[in-house]
Structure 1
Amino acid sequence: MLAIHTYRHSLARLSRSQFISPFLKFKPGFIYQLITPISSPFSIQTISKNMTGDAPSSSTMASPPVSSSAAGPSTENGTEPESRYEPRYIDVGINLTDMTYQGIYHGRKAHDADLESVISRGQAIGCKKLMVTGSDYKHSLQAIELAEQYPGTIFATVGVHPCSASGVTKHITPTKSVQYLLKRVEELALQGKNRGTVTAFGEIGLDYDRFFLSDKESQLLVFEEQLRIAERVDLPLFLHSRAAEEDFNKLLFGANLPRKGLVHSFTGTLEEMKILVEHGYDIGINGCSLKTEENLAVVKEVPLERLQIETDGPWCEIRNSHASAKYLKTMPEYLANGVPKDVKKEKWQSGLRVKGRNEPCAIAGVAWVIAQVKGVEFEEVCERSWENSMTMFRFDEAAALQQKWNGNRPPEESA
């Protein structure tokens, strides 16, 4: 059984004066770009994608409340409460290699890079660990670079997303099989695992909503081969499934996998969720998982021992139009811990957030909504999801490997 911290208070008893309504200021978007950050030594062709169905834009978004006082609620005589739960989170799905964190939107520079501030804001609200998603070979390399820059805080996944599958299969020739083309992905995953920078194999899976990005045949071929690779690299899986339940389950459950994994950004049915849980898989919840009343009904039934939380930034924010927005309005101000206001990207200034661009500091809102939907303590959601993520992805072991590797690196590599 996973340990649960003793509850020191009940957030449900907070008075009305201790709540603040979020500002709801974002509009839905559609296309985003997946390209190499300008600071990276690697170059990659620009790819327009809509892998989640939600992209950053100037949209109507339900943000965590902006804190006017990071100190949080006070008692009637103005003193601080004797004790208050300090939440901790792990954002197990965040796309920090996206160009919006470099200030670039649809190929145009709108503002200075602010990735460091994005990471700092997440840490300020208690997001202590981030797992950066790799969607193809080059983005996996970039995720590893970030893990090397932020040891113990950032970790990477390595894999080929189903929407990137055609980028692999188009290079198949009589002398270059899919196995040959994915060999370097396997080697990168193994190297990163041994150095503590890679904690999951993925994002892999199937997406039948976006055949305009990768056809069905390419997706099946690449997913099946990556499941074979997963048998060898012995890492937990970071999985993607959209409108492909039958084929996804058939391939996944038929593989001889040494480790299970997480089906992230889950938006499936109650039956689909139960089948995955019965087979030992965890369920990742973000704003995309909290759109409709049907989504919320599924989230309510996700067992706490199988729950993990994420933002999937810069996408999958909680929007004003979502069924979950009503719960976000009741989130205590202190949980925002000084989250700054958001502005249009053209009016961005250092220290401010960008409208429509999701980021790790929003994870508090995801956890809060889940607690309200399930009717459990906020602390329980935070602690159970923390323990689930730590157990599955072994971040402590990875951090120790990072420290060991960094201590043994040649001077020219450490510079």
Structure 2
Amino acid sequence: MIKSMKELKFIDIGSNLTDLMFQGIYNDKKQHDSDLEIVIKRAIKGGLDKILITAGSYQETVEALKICEELDPKCELLFTTVGVHPTRTKDCKVHSDDYLKRMKDLIRMNSCRIKAIGEFGLDSDRLHFSSMKIQEKYFEKQFELLEEFCLPMFLHIRGDQDCYSKFVRIINEKKSLWIKRGGVAHSFNGNLEQLKMILEMDLEIGVNGCSLKTQDNLNIVENIPLDKLHIETDSPWCDIKPTHSSYHLIETHFPQVNKPSKWEEDKLIKGRNEPIKIIQVAEILFKIYSNNSKFSFNQFIDEIYKNTFKMYFKAI
């Protein structure tokens, strides 16, 4: 028997709570009042024990820290990362030593909250934001943060085989800096060969709705060892849609309104993902793994929780 959501315990390793959708702004237009506090309270009721707020720039980390302090003053639920997303690396100011110094200062002053270096990595699918040459240069530069701080990595890797090969080269060259704490390749949606490349480097894998769109995705995800698996929502993105091959595996659904302008406090908004929906990712994965797993659903969730707690929250 599956526990009630109140009895389940999840860690969402990636939620973009700084996104303007949680302030009621969609495509630069105000549709409703900020409901971030309501979203967080709903997440707690849904079993969220910890949420890692994804940051892809210095300013996003500052914004994430503000959210943490306002909504979780005891430093028990909300945490964040510090790093520069590959699509943000074109901005010349991030290449300055001063920018790196300010990120280091954030880590020193917020050791309770900052639990990972990232989101950083490579992305050949969106080169219109930043060239691969620039991405590579600043991906490597950010490892200077790991020279001083023993934190795990929150990694971004998306693109073709050449992009993955560059990613592997850099990760392996910097291995002495990260091997003690490891890291997670979040929002994985690569092929089987790319999955093996990541696992062979002793990295772990984060799965969300974008990892579960097609039948090929599902066939690949089942090859992730359970002790290397983490779950996330990447909210407000990566919602699992009825067109996804995994949708029929979901058991838990939530009342929702069809448009942001129709906002209601006790309902979700169609197309806007939230941390509470992490249970849907868990339900899909449990069914994918069920043929090769001896665990009940509750045990399965506990195993994933242990993986993430060890990676991001266990003191060393």
TM superposition shift of 1:97: 0.3
Q: In the alignment, which residue of structure 2 is the partner of 1:201?
A: 117
TM superposition shift of 1:85: 9.4
TM superposition shift of 1:321: 1.0
SS at match of 1:358: coil
* Matches of 2:155 and 2:119, distance apart in 1: 5
SS at match of 1:223: helix
TM superposition shift of 1:353: 1.4
RMSD of aligned Cα (Å): 2.0
* Matches of 2:147 and 2:298, distance apart in 1: 35
Q: In the alignment, which residue of structure 1 is the partner of 2:258?
A: 343
Q: In the alignment, which residue of structure 1 is the partner of 2:56?
A: 135
- 2:224 alignment partner AA: V
Q: In the alignment, which residue of structure 1 is the partner of 2:18?
A: 97
Q: In the alignment, which residue of structure 2 is the partner of 1:390?
A: 309
Alignment of 1:93-172 (within 5 A): 93-149=14-70, 150=72, 151-167=75-91, 170-171=92-93
TM superposition shift of 1:185: 1.5
* Matches of 2:126 and 2:83, distance apart in 1: 18
- 2:274 alignment partner AA: E
Q: Indicate which of 265, 271, 284 corresponds to 2:206.
A: 284
1:228 and 2:125 matched: no
CA contact (8 A) 1:165 1:222 kept: yes
TM superposition shift of 1:386: 0.4
Number of residue-to-residue matches in the alignment: 303
Structure 1 residues 190 and 247: alpha-carbon distance in aligned structure 2, compared to 1, 3 A threshold: farther
* Matches of 2:30 and 2:219, distance apart in 1: 41
CA contact (8 A) 1:345 1:354 kept: yes
Per-residue CA deviation, residues 322-346 of structure 1 (Å, 9 max, x unaligned), is: 1101211xx1x5xx6xx43333111
- 2:280 alignment partner AA: G
* Matches of 2:310 and 2:62, distance apart in 1: 25
* Matches of 1:293 and 1:98, distance apart in 2: 30
SS at match of 1:275: helix
- 1:249 alignment partner AA: V
Q: Which runs of 5+ in 1 are unaligned?
A: 1-8, 12-70, 73-83, 399-415
The structure showing larger relative contact order (alpha-carbon pairs under 8 Å, at least 6 residues apart) is: 1
TM superposition shift of 1:265: 0.3
TM-score, normalised to structure 1's length? 0.69
Q: Indicate which of 219, 223, 232 corresponds to 1:297.
A: 219
Q: Indicate which of 188, 193, 196 corresponds to 1:266.
A: 188
Alignment of 1:241-256 (within 5 A): 241-243=157-159, 244-255=163-174, 256=176
Q: Which runs of 5+ in 2 are unaligned?
A: none
* Matches of 1:127 and 1:252, distance apart in 2: 31
Structure 1 residues 88 and 171: alpha-carbon distance in aligned structure 2, compared to 1, 3 A threshold: closer
Per-residue CA deviation, residues 3-51 of structure 1 (Å, 9 max, x unaligned), is: xxxxxx4x5xxxxxxxxxxxxxxxxxxxxxxxxxxxxxxxxxxxxxxxx
Q: In the alignment, which residue of structure 2 is the partner of 1:406?
A: none
SS at match of 1:301: coil
Rg larger in structure: 1
TM-score, normalised to structure 2's length? 0.90
1:326 and 2:268 matched: no
Q: In the alignment, which residue of structure 2 is the partner of 1:189?
A: 107
Q: In the alignment, which residue of structure 2 is the partner of 1:240?
A: 156
Per-residue CA deviation, residues 67-107 of structure 1 (Å, 9 max, x unaligned), is: xxxx97xxxxxxxxxxx993211011000000000001121
Aligned-pair identity in percent equals 37
* Matches of 2:198 and 2:108, distance apart in 1: 26
TM superposition shift of 1:349: 2.3
- 2:222 alignment partner AA: K
TM superposition shift of 1:310: 0.3
* Matches of 1:136 and 1:95, distance apart in 2: 12
Per-residue CA deviation, residues 255-276 of structure 1 (Å, 9 max, x unaligned), is: 0224211110001122222232
* Matches of 1:186 and 1:242, distance apart in 2: 26
SS at match of 2:206: strand
- 1:257 alignment partner AA: L
- 2:101 alignment partner AA: K
* Matches of 2:39 and 2:93, distance apart in 1: 36
TM superposition shift of 1:296: 0.6
